[in-house]
């Protein structure tokens, strides 16, 4: 069975065995338990992570009220980090927490840059996935601005059915910008 990272990269461009063997040497496998905070607000972020197993969420906390606002989720075969902090080497403004026990592939910024310089296929893969991520974010923002609560909820369930059954409804409500009660009401319909 092919390695999940290889499958993910090859959804964009095929690799030789030698290329993948070289790429994977730049990653480190890490495991964390449920509730572990992978990244905390204020941390310097040294890694981005490819999820092999588990589910995580990224959120920001309102300093005045302590209320959490879920920004994104990540499950198997997704990437997760705090992008700005990782890229600009600035303190994180979000927290990334394990919602389940997780097994991840960690990649340092230095190794990310090295792979991009040395293997054009890897750089192409990152570029394509970044562009697709930007498109998904743009669609999400449009739906948050123009869509009603029901449309946002239905889009989430349709787009991420595997998350709907794994993530607490309170966190889904936070992601959608609605109350937990609203999610319960929409779920019953």
pLDDT digits 0-9 by tens, 161-186: 889 889 998 999 999 988 888 877 77
Helix axes 149-159, 180-188, angle to 10 degrees: 70
Helix axes 149-159, 120-146, angle to 10 degrees: 150
Q: Based on C-alpha coordinates, what's the Rg of the chain?
A: 17
Q: In terms of pTM, does the model score above 0.75?
A: yes
pLDDT at residue 17 in the model? 96
In the beta sheet, which residues pair with residue 21? Answer: none
Separation between Cα atoms, residue 164 and residue 115, nearest integer Å? 35
**Beta-sheet pairing, 37-39 with 27-32:** unpaired
Identify the CA nearest to 94 among candidates 129, 47, 45: 45
At residue 187 the predicted structure's pLDDT band, cuts being 50, 70 and 90, is low
| Number of other residues whose CB lies within 10 A of the CB of residue 179 | 13
| Number of other residues whose CB lies within 10 A of the CB of residue 139 | 13
Identify the CA nearest to 93 among candidates 105, 106, 84, 104: 84
Q: Are residues 116 and 93 in contact, defined by beta-carbon separation less than 8 angstroms?
A: no
At residue 189 the predicted structure's pLDDT band, cuts being 50, 70 and 90, is low
């Amino acid at each position: 069975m092919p390695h999940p990272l290889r499958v993910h990269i090859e959804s964009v461009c095929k690799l030789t065995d030698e290329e993948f063997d070289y790429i994977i040497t730049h990653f480190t496998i890490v495991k964390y338990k449920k509730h572990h905070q992978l990244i905390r607000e204020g941390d310097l972020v040294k890694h981005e992570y490819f999820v092999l197993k588990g589910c995580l969420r990224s959120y920001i906390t309102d300093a005045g009220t302590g209320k959490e606002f879920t920004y994104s989720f990540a499950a198997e075969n997704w990437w997760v980090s705090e992008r700005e902090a990782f890229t600009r080497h600035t303190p994180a403004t979000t927290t990334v927490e394990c919602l389940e026990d997780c097994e991840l592939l960690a990649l340092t910024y230095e190794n990310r840059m090295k792979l991009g310089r040395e293997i054009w296929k890897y750089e192409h893969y990152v570029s394509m996935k970044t562009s697709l991520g930007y498109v998904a974010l743009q669609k999400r923002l449009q739906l948050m601005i123009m869509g009603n609560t029901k449309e946002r909820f239905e889009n989430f369930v349709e787009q991420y059915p595997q998350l709907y059954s794994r993530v607490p409804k309170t966190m889904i409500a936070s992601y959608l910008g609605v109350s937990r009660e609203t999610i319960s009401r929409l779920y019953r319909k």
